[in-house]
Structure formats: structure tokens, C-alpha cells
Amino acid sequence: MIPFPPSAPTPTPFDPASLGVGHDQPRLLLVDDEPRLLLSLYELLQGRGYQLITATNGAEALAHLSKLRFDLVLLDLGLPDIGGHEVMDFINQKGIDADVIVVSGEVGIDAAIGALKRGAYDYLRKPYSREELLKTVGNALKARRLEQANERIAAQLENSEKMYRYLVDSSPDIIYTLNHEGRFTFINERAHQLLGYKRDELIGQHYSILVHEEDLERARYVFNERRVDERASRNVELRLKCHAGNAHDRTFNTTLMTISLNAIGMHVPDQEVRKLEFFGTYGVARDITDRKRAEEVISYQAYHDILTDLPNRILFKDRLGLAVIQAKRKQTELAVMFIDLDRFKLVNDTLGHVKGDELLQQVAGRLKECLRKGDTLARQGGDEFTIVLPELRERDDARAIADNFLESLHRPFDLDGHEVHISASIGIAIYPGHGESIDELLRHADIAMYQVKGQGKNGHAFYDPSMQEVSHQKIALGQALRRALENDELEMYYQPQVDAASGKIVGAEALMRWNHPARGVVSPGEFLPFAEENGLMLPISDWMIGALCRDMLQWKGLCGSQVRLSLNLSPQYLDRGDFFEKMRGALLRYGIAPGQIEVEITENICIRNPQYAIEQLNKLGQLGVSVAIDDFGTGYSSLAYLHRFPVHTIKIDQSFVKEIHDEHDHYPVVLAIISIARGLGLNLIAEGVETEIQARYLRANGCLTMQGYLYYRPMPLPRFMDVLQEHGVQSGDHNVIAFQA
């Protein structure tokens, strides 16, 4: 490098950051072995916004080119050590991004050709004019800036295209374009993933090869969409076919827009005509197959019972309405049946709701097997089913189907080893004789069903207008029962229990009676079912506890404090969380010792929720109240429960006692219950004893405490107290008096 005057700038030192593209000032390398010419060139370019670095020979130039990045090299060919052509060869071999302007004094054409072959931007011959040099340098740098800008734009376009293709191919939707003939010109990779077709199989093919045959007419308008404004097709649902062996047909929600070209038309005076020429269609197809399936499931579940897969009441009413319209048009009859399962609640309480659901599913299957084609079986809810039988030829057809239902339900049901027997009560209403509207037919079939329930269940009956009056009477009875509590119309009757050996009264069972102002005395078998259905068992049980405690106050002077009263609790009352507090409060209020109370429960209470029942009964035991099981042997009890429950007494149900007709015969159920009581050390009472034969058989086999019409009928409190006095019951006799509602 030649020495320059102090005022001349020195070459810029090596700066790694200067290697980047886009430094503010272009960097120029000036190479010439003539100091005077090099200085002149330097001064000519100085102050024009360039970074200037000089070299006096080829080696020095190569050193600078190896360290720094240059935009332009002004190169003399005739260097003393390494020629200018060799410097250019170095630049090309190393891939150095720098333009070269050759400044040479050689006049031969070969030197210029050699320089241009090596990629020189231009060739200036010494001596050159000032303007020529500046113009050439300016043009070279301008061309370089344009080239670099083009390279950046090209790189951006390439990256943009890569990103676009990535986004298009990664889209969850099928993206495609069609030409004006409806043939695919582009389709993304999603089509292969969803439909199984490769791009090459679809490009050039008509869109119709993908469209389901039933949707072709609608697709003809959608795939040829020509509008570009808000009227363009949006969210049109089409089904597209999948490649053979790939999957089932899928449903697509297709959004379309049109690509149009603007064309310039002929000019007319003072007007310009613009024309849109249809070019093709751009579309996005979204797979909504899963959504459609979910919608179908939701729609199905809205009209079907989830447990049995039968139509629900909404769909049933719709089909019944259509059947009524058709029957009216054809002037034919149809039948509506209302089916209620008998003893289903017992299965739910004893085996649990899971087994109850299994039973309902099996029942639904059996009922469907009895139907004709075109009949509709639906589940109304719980254990209730409804059926519509359209186009009846005669009423005997409905009767025959009802008989088939009862026969199919007569066979036992297997619930994981539990053999269950149930029956059904079926009410039948005929259109148009029993009603012409949906609600009338269902209501009258329901009334007929309750008529069957009231007559012993397990049967069917056609609606009759007289049943309406019975139904109204039942409603009136339920309303009057609510007033009975307010008007103090309930009363306790007592049926004495006797020791069969001595004939003495040893206890009593209390039976609730309703002194109806119009009907007279009503037995509990008539009104307690209404109480259970209408939520009145809890207030009635509260009243019963108070009534018994008040009666006991009257017996203190007659029987003393050693009399034990047995109180029969309703399952609903036992399930209520505060029944224990209710009973303890009543005993405290009336001054009754807990040891005088024995609570009677049915054995089904013990097994529908045994752990809860044990907790509640143990509370009573801690309080001092004893426990008896009523109607023993009629439910689904397990002997294991007798060991777990704090039981003191079991009672033989009257249904077993009634079977005793010969004192010398063998009645295994009665003998088994007696043996259980004896083996567990429990007290034993037989209910419903009406004949001497029954009494002798029971006494001979070890059951000494009995009650029934053979001895006494139920009687009101004053009469019962007279009987106690007649038999000389005194305070020290330790008699047991059992009270049952």
C-alpha cells in the first residue's frame, strides 16, 4: 500500500460485521501499481459516499479480498507480481461476490476480451475521463443494488411459496381449484389423506368423480360457482366418495369463491366497458363427517330411550299422531296400550337399579318380539311402556297381542344368576271409540291399566267409560286423605295376640283405620297405597307415633310400664334421615321409656340398602328400642342378614298360615321359619290364624304366639282396653303389645 498524505483516509481495518449484506456505504478496492495513478483515482472517488481501500500489487489485493467483502474492485491488469487476470480468477474461484471494473493501459483486444470473459462489469482504457469513470462506477453499483434487490425478492418469493404450500398441504381442509370446465387444476395433500386419491389421479379429472351420485345435481351449481360477492355459495353440504377400500363416504361442508380475470373491451364514445371473464373456481371443503354423525346421534337420542333403544314419548306421540291421521283417512281402528310392570319396584329395591335396568332391557326385547311390522313400542319412563297398533281388523287382534305380552313376561328373567318373575298390567284404548285425540287415547289406556292394577294385576282390560268414574273416585280419595290428617279422621285399631297354650293376651297389633265422613271406616289396604304415591306416608307416620304414645299414657295405670309396643315403620319413613330424631323426641315428650318400643320392619328394607338400615337400626338399639321383622319369608331375604341386623322377633306371614289345611300334613316353609327362630333364639308370632287346625299345627310345631280372627278381630282403643281388663292384664305381667300401621 502506498503512503498517502495525512489528509488522505487510510484503508478501513477489517470489521467482521462488514461481511454482512446491506452495509450503508459501498466498499471499493482500488488496485494499481502506479502510485500517482492510484492517488489520482483515490482522490477522484473520495467524498462520494464510498469506503475506499487501496492495493499496489496483486498479493496485497488478494489479501484484502480474503479478509473483507467488497462491492466493486477497480483493477489494473498490469501488476508486477500477480496479473489482473489472475486476480479475477481468484475472485471467481473463491466465489467472491464483487463486481470488477478493469482499468488498464493495454491497447490489445485480447486483454479486454480476457477481462470480459472472466466476468468484468466493464473495461476502461487509460487514460479515462473523469466523467466516464464516475458514470461507470455509478452504473456498476446501481446494477449491483438492483441485482441484490432481485435476489432478496426472489428469496422472499421462494420462502413465501414454500410457506404457502406448507400451509395449504397442512390445512385440515381440502383446498382445490377448478378450471372453467370443472376439472381439477390444483388440489392439496389433504384430499389424499381423507379420500384416498392421489393428486395425480385427480388433476385434470372432472369434479363429478368425487361427488356422491345423490348429490350431483346440487354439486353442478356449487362447483360451477361464478359469483364473487356475498351471494357466492357458502357452507353447502355435499358427500364426497372415498377411494375404493379407503373408507366410507364422507360429508363435506364446501365454501366456494370464484377467480375472475378483468379484460378490457372495445371503447365506445364517453364510455368504458369492463367485462369479467369466468376463469375457474377456488374452493375449500371441510370434512364434517364426524359432526354429522354426532348430530345424527344427538337427533337419535332426542327421540329414543337410551336404556332400551326404544322410541321415547316424544317420538311415540308423533307416530301415534300419524297413525290417527291415517286411521281417520282410511276409516279403520287402531289400539293404544299402556303397560306397567308389576313388582318392578321390588326388583329395584332388592337387587339394585343396575339389575333393574337389565330387566327393563330384557322386557323391551321380549315385547318387541310380540309386535307386528308397523307397530310401535315406546318407553314412557320408569317401568311403563306404550304401544300403538295401527290398522286393526278387529279388537281381538289387540287382545291377542296383549295375551302374547303376558305370556312372554311369564317366563323367568335371569339377572346374573338371580331368577326373577314379574308380570304386567295392560290397559287398552281403541280409536275412535275410546277417543280421537292422542291425549285421550293415552289417558284412557292409562285408566284401563290402573283398573287392572286394582283388580290384582297380571292382566289386560279395554277402557270403559265406567272406569273414568272409578278413576275420579281415586283422585277424590287421595284429596280427602290429605284432609283426613287435618280433620283428625284417622284412628288406631288393635288386634290382640294370644298365647295359644294359656289363652292369655300377650300383645296386640295396631291397624290404622280411616273414619271417612261419607264412606265410613276405610281399611289401610285402600288408602295407604295412595299415601305412598302422594307423599303422605311421612306425615301419617308422624301422626301414628304420636297417637301410639298418647294411647300408652292411658295404659300406664292398666298395664304399668312393662308393656312393650311394636311399631311398624314404612320404608319411606325409615329412609328419611330424621326419623330417629322424630321417634326419640316423641318418646321424650310423652315420657315413654324406649325399652317399651319394638320397631317392626319388612325384610325388604334389610336388603335394598343393608348398610344404611343396619346403621339406623343400631341407633335404635343404642336408644333401647328392639326390632322385629314383619311378613317374614315373603321377600328376597338372606339368612345372613339375620346375623347382621339387631333382630329380636320374626313374624310368620298369613299367606303361609292360610296354606295349613291338615294338622297332620307337612308345610316346609312354616317349619323352616319356626326352625330359624328357634335356632337364632328369636321370638315368633304367627299372623292370620283363623281355624283350630292352623292353631293346633302351629302349637304342635313350636309356635305359641298367634293372632287372627280365631281369637280376636281388630277393635278400637276403648274396646281393646276392656278386653285387657277382662283378661286381668296387670302391671307385673310383662305383656308385649305390638302396634302396626
| pTM beyond cutoff 0.85 | no
DSSP alpha helix (H) spans, 185-340: 190-195, 199-202, 216-222, 289-303, 313-330
Question: What is the distance of C-alpha 258 from the center of its chain?
Answer: 41
More confident residue, 608 or 547: 547
Q: What are phi and psi of 82, to 5 degrees?
A: -125, 125
Domain boundaries, given as residue ranges, for the chain? 16-150, 171-265+272-293, 306-463, 478-739
Read off the C-alpha cell for 343.
Answer: 313388582
pLDDT-derived band at 107, boundaries 50, 70, 90: confident
Q: What angle do CA 30, 31, 34 make, to 5 degrees?
A: 115
Positive or negative: CA dihedral 105, 109, 111, 116: positive
Q: How far is CA 175 from CA 170, 244, 255, in A?
A: 10, 22, 10
pLDDT for the residue numbered 219: 75
CA distance linking residue 555 with residue 557, whole number of Å: 5
CA distance linking residue 714 with residue 292, whole number of Å: 68
Read off the C-alpha cell for 524.
Answer: 289401610
pLDDT tens digits, 510-531: 888 999 888 888 888 778 877 7
On the question of pLDDT at 12 being above 60, the answer is: no
pLDDT for the residue numbered 405: 93
Whose CA is closest to 499, among 732, 653, 689? Answer: 689
pLDDT tens digits, 372-381: 888 999 999 8
Positive or negative: CA dihedral 608, 611, 612, 618: positive
More confident residue, 289 or 319: 319
Which residues contact residue 691 at a Cβ distance below 8 angstroms, ignoring those fewer than 6 apart?
A: 660, 710
Mean pLDDT of 334-360: 88
Q: What are phi and psi of 548, to 5 degrees?
A: -65, -40
DSSP alpha helix (H) spans, 48-129: 58-67, 84-93, 109-117
pLDDT for the residue numbered 364: 94
480 close to 529: Cβ distance less than 8 angstroms: no
Question: What is the distance of C-alpha 302 from the center of its chain?
Answer: 12
pLDDT for the residue numbered 3: 43
The residue with cell 379407503 is 246
The residue with cell 287421595 is 478
pLDDT tens digits, 595-652: 778 888 876 665 556 677 777 788 888 888 888 888 776 654 556 566 677 888 888 8
DSSP E strand stretches across 162-204? 174-179, 184-187
On the question of pLDDT at 289 being above 60, the answer is: yes
Q: Which amino acid makes up residue 32?
A: D
pLDDT-derived band at 194, boundaries 50, 70, 90: confident
pLDDT tens digits, 471-522: 666 677 777 888 888 888 899 888 888 888 888 888 788 888 999 888 888 8
Query: Which residues are 685's β-sheet partners?
Result: 651, 705
Sheet holding 122-125, edge to edge: 51-55, 27-31, 72-75, 99-104, 122-125
On the question of pLDDT at 716 being above 60, the answer is: yes
pLDDT tens digits, 275-285: 556 667 777 77
Query: How many other CB atoms are found less than 10 A from the CB of residue 470?
Result: 14
pLDDT-derived band at 741, boundaries 50, 70, 90: very low
Q: Which CATH class is domain 171-265+272-293?
A: alpha beta
pLDDT for the residue numbered 733: 43
CA distance linking residue 222 with residue 370, whole number of Å: 49
CA distance linking residue 739 with residue 717, whole number of Å: 12
From the candidate CATH numbers 2.60.40.650, 3.90.1150.10, 3.30.1280.10, 3.30.70.270, the one assigned to the domain spanning 306-463: 3.30.70.270
Q: Which fold has domain 16-150?
A: Rossmann fold (3.40.50)
Q: Which CATH class is domain 478-739?
A: alpha beta
